[in-house]
């Protein structure tokens, strides 16, 4: 079969989860690859279909957000959280961002604000009625909540949601089940759904929409409107150090292997 969409020297990423992982060479059809700009930073391109895709799809697929709307998210300093902040800012959407109480809270808060965060709160502040009232008064109640933590934090975030608001769970860092008070389901009509990026790529990898997403995110990076998450690169033989860094509390960087 003739290859017409690609040429030697092109930069490509896999259109299917896991394709090409842990190997130096691969024989596959051109339909299983997505071409990306050679100007795109290589580390960002390698992770484009993971964290940036997750952030993009959660803003796109669950609630029709308009300019001036508000969303709330926990784990805001994660790679997904950083992308949510920037994509939301580009769309004119305000973000309430929750991070854990920590010794370098002020530094992380400033970092997220520089990315475009509307407001940054600690998980302790999230539970304080005075802080909640101040945020709601300043930004309005959120239409969308993005949950990567789980546990009681879900209930805390849902206190900021308007009637009919949607909570999208895409992670469970606390390893605790989501706390869903019946009153907020019954009387406020809150909706809880999940998002699994792997499933979306399995069903849509190589589609026109996937191509549109990749091109759109790539243009924003190349134009300087979006910056990729902070990363730490490790050689494969340094895997022990990489794993230790991954499990280090309160890190803002993503660990990647360079083969």
Q: Is the pLDDT of residue 252 over 80?
A: no
| The dihedral formed by the CA atoms of 218, 220, 226 and 230, expressed in degrees to the nearest 10 | 10
CA proximity to 96, closest of 64, 133, 60, 63: 133
CA proximity to 236, closest of 14, 22, 44: 22
pLDDT of amino acid 4: 84
SS3 231: strand
The arithmetic mean of pLDDT across residues 136-140, rounded, is: 90
Q: Is the pLDDT of residue 1 over 70?
A: no
Q: How far is 175 from 171, CA to CA, in rounded Å?
A: 9
CA-angle at 64, arms to 189 and 254, nearest 5°: 95
Q: How far is 247 from 240, CA to CA, in rounded Å?
A: 11
The helix (run of H) or strand (run of E) holding residue 240 is: helix 239-246
Out of 69-73, 84-88, 96-100, 244-248, least confident range:
244-248
Per the model's pLDDT, the better-predicted residue between 254 and 195 turns out to be 195
Q: How far is 74 from 83, CA to CA, in rounded Å?
A: 13
**Residues 13/45, Cβ–Cβ less than 8 Å:** yes
133: number of Cβ within 10 Å: 10
SS3 121: strand
pLDDT digits 0-9 by tens, 77-122: 999 999 999 999 999 999 999 999 999 999 999 999 999 999 999 9
The arithmetic mean of pLDDT across residues 147-154, rounded, is: 93
Hey, CA dihedral for 214, 89, 86, 55, is it positive or negative? Answer: negative
Q: How far is 240 from 182, CA to CA, in rounded Å?
A: 44
Q: Which two tokens stand for residue 83?
A: 């992308």
Q: Is the pLDDT of residue 219 over 70?
A: yes
Phi-psi label, residue 151: left if phi above 0, alpha if psi -120 to 50, beta otherwise: left
Out of 106-110, 231-235, 250-254, least confident range:
250-254
DSSP 212: H
Q: Which two tokens stand for residue 26?
A: 């691969």
Average pLDDT score, the chain: 92
Q: How far is 32 from 205, CA to CA, in rounded Å?
A: 8
The arithmetic mean of pLDDT across residues 5-9, rounded, is: 90
Q: Which residues pair with 95 in a beta bridge?
A: 71
The arithmetic mean of pLDDT across residues 132-159, rounded, is: 92
The helix (run of H) or strand (run of E) holding residue 98 is: strand 94-99
């Amino acid at each position: 079969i003739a290859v017409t969409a690609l040429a030697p020297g092109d930069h490509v990423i896999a259109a299917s989860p896991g394709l090409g992982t842990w190997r130096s060479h691969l024989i596959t059809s051109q339909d299983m690859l997505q071409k990306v700009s050679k100007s795109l930073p290589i580390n960002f391109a390698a992770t484009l279909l993971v964290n940036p895709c997750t952030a993009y799809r959660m803003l796109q697929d669950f609630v029709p957000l308009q300019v001036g709307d508000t969303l709330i998210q926990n784990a805001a300093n994660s790679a997904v959280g950083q992308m949510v902040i920037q994509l939301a800012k580009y769309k004119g959407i305000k973000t309430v961002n929750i991070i854990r109480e920590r010794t370098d809270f002020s530094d992380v808060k400033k970092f997220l604000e520089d990315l475009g965060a509307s407001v940054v709160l600690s998980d302790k502040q999230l539970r304080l009625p005075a802080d909640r009232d101040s945020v709601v008064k300043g930004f309005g109640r959120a239409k969308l909540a993005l949950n990567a933590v789980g546990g009681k934090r879900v209930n805390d975030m849902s206190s900021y949601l308007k009637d009919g608001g949607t909570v999208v769970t895409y992670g469970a860092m606390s390893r605790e089940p989501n706390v869903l008070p019946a009153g907020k389901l019954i009387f406020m009509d809150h909706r809880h759904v999940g998002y699994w990026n792997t499933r979306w790529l399995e069903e849509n990898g190589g589609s026109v929409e996937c191509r549109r997403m990749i091109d759109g995110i790539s243009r924003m990076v190349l134009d300087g409107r979006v910056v990729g998450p902070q990363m730490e690169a490790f050689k494969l033989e340094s895997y022990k150090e990489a794993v230790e860094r991954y499990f280090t509390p309160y890190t803002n960087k993503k660990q990647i292997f360079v083969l």
